[in-house]
Amino acid sequence: MAVLSIRVPRFTLALAALALPVALATASVAAARPAGGANPSPPAAAADVRGGIGIAAGGELQYLTPADLARELDGYARVGAAWIRFDFNWSGIERQKGVYDWSRHDAVVDAATARGLRVLGLIAYTPAWARPPGTDNKHAPTDVKDYASFVGEAVRRYAPRGVRHWELWNEPNHSGFWKPCPDVKRYTSLLRLGSAAARSADPAAFVLAGGMSPAVDNGCNVAPRTFLAGIYANGGKGSFDALAHHPYSFPAEPGTPHAWSAWHQMVGTSPSLRSIMVENGDADKAIWATEWGVKVGSVDERTQADMLTRAYSLFGSYSWAGPMFTYTYRDRDSFGLVRGDWSPRPAWAAFQAAALVR
């Protein structure tokens, strides 16, 4: 198959924006932020969202010191992020059944919304009491009803704080996050019960099916398009308002035709995630890229920045595209817009330029 080629005239502005002085871009972004760090009012409803640019922060924010959390989130605001995705870690919040410690997550949510960031909450990972003995928190829950109960508690608590968008599990098609091996039937049950609990707790809740990892069918891991077809086959239609996906493709460019590329599986092959959604009557639903990034080392830092610009341009050209989240802000496993010492990589300016366009 030929390399995917899509003309995106409106995104030629992104390339021009890269030439702007960083100070000018920063001033433009700051002007769009609430003054004085005031808390914005929660949205009246979690309507569908098209476009937007965010940071996928992972599961570490709630463990940062207050000073480091403030420094990190101030960086998100300066670089122009509109969204933050971070883990509402079930295994850390409900260590004992029915006993909840929300304090660390309250602090992150309040700090993020004070900076004008919208929160996408990822609800995942199983506490010890809800999984088989001797397993870790990436093991699937023994009873998915326990997960759904936690979803309801989380949504009920954070809707008044303005969190209305929820992703149910992380990369359930990969054994790294759904042990011992992915089970699409079981995941679909979790999705159906979890989305029902979320909507019961907050009728305006916006639910995303868990973002899928790059994978090929190998007898354990399940390719994204195979997994999505299985969700529909097991009655998952109607249980999500948008599909989350992780269209990593590095070191290849987004859109290049490699079977392992999650971007290629999203739109460049047949069937694709997009064509499966259309065939199942979900053409009106968006795909959110809730994680995407480029690992430094697989490419150099300048190439990382160039790939970020092209990825946001290409993804933004799709009429069905939701927000796109870059993993991550500060270096983790050689991903990140800034290095471990907080110094910006070239990708920082590339992200800021993309934010000005989107």
Give 238-292 pLDDT, tens digit per residue: 999 999 999 999 999 998 998 889 999 999 889 999 999 999 999 999 999 999 9
Distance, in Å, from the CA atom of 26 to the CA atom of 144, rounded to the nearest integer, reads 45
- Phi, psi of 109, deg, nearest 5: -60, -45
Residues 6+ apart with CB under 8 A from 316: 8, 11, 51, 324, 357, 358
Question: Confidence band (pLDDT; 50, 70, 90) for 167?
Answer: very high
Joined together, the tokens standing for residue 190 give 């979790």
Q: Does residue 141 have a pLDDT over 90?
A: yes
How many CB atoms within 10 Å of residue 11?
Answer: 20
What is the residue-averaged pLDDT of the chain? Answer: 88
pLDDT at 58: 87
Question: Confidence band (pLDDT; 50, 70, 90) for 218?
Answer: very high
Paired strand residues for 120: 85, 165
**In this structure, are residues 109 and 163 in contact, taking their beta carbons and an 8 Å threshold?**
yes
Return the percentage of the chain with pLDDT > 90, whole number. Answer: 81
**In this structure, are residues 89 and 59 in contact, taking their beta carbons and an 8 Å threshold?**
yes
Distance, in Å, from the CA atom of 198 to the CA atom of 205, rounded to the nearest integer, reads 6
Paired strand residues for 330: 338
Between strands 242-245 and 165-170, the pairing is unpaired
Question: Confidence band (pLDDT; 50, 70, 90) for 294?
Answer: very high
- State whether residue 100 is helix, strand or coil: coil
Distance, in Å, from the CA atom of 331 to the CA atom of 114, rounded to the nearest integer, reads 24
Closest by CA to 85, choosing from 168, 204, 181, is: 168
pLDDT at 42: 34
Question: Measured on CA atoms in the order 180, 185, 187, 193, is the torsion positive or negative?
Answer: negative
324-355: per-residue pLDDT in tens?
A: 999 999 999 999 999 999 999 999 999 999 99
Is CATH 3.20.20.80 correct for 49-357?
yes
Question: Confidence band (pLDDT; 50, 70, 90) for 293?
Answer: very high
Across residues 121-137, what is the average pLDDT?
A: 98
Distance, in Å, from the CA atom of 159 to the CA atom of 168, rounded to the nearest integer, reads 16
pLDDT at 260: 87
pLDDT at 269: 87
5-62: per-residue pLDDT in tens?
A: 333 333 333 333 333 333 333 333 333 333 333 333 333 345 566 778 999 998 899 9
pLDDT at 49: 67
Across residues 159-181, what is the average pLDDT?
A: 98
Across residues 101-119, what is the average pLDDT?
A: 97
Q: What is the pTM of this model?
A: 0.86
Across residues 99-111, what is the average pLDDT?
A: 97
Across residues 166-181, what is the average pLDDT?
A: 98
Question: Confidence band (pLDDT; 50, 70, 90) for 137?
Answer: very high
Closest by CA to 238, choosing from 189, 282, 286, is: 282
pLDDT at 12: 33
Element holding 56 (H helix, E strand): strand 53-58
- Phi, psi of 102, deg, nearest 5: -95, 0
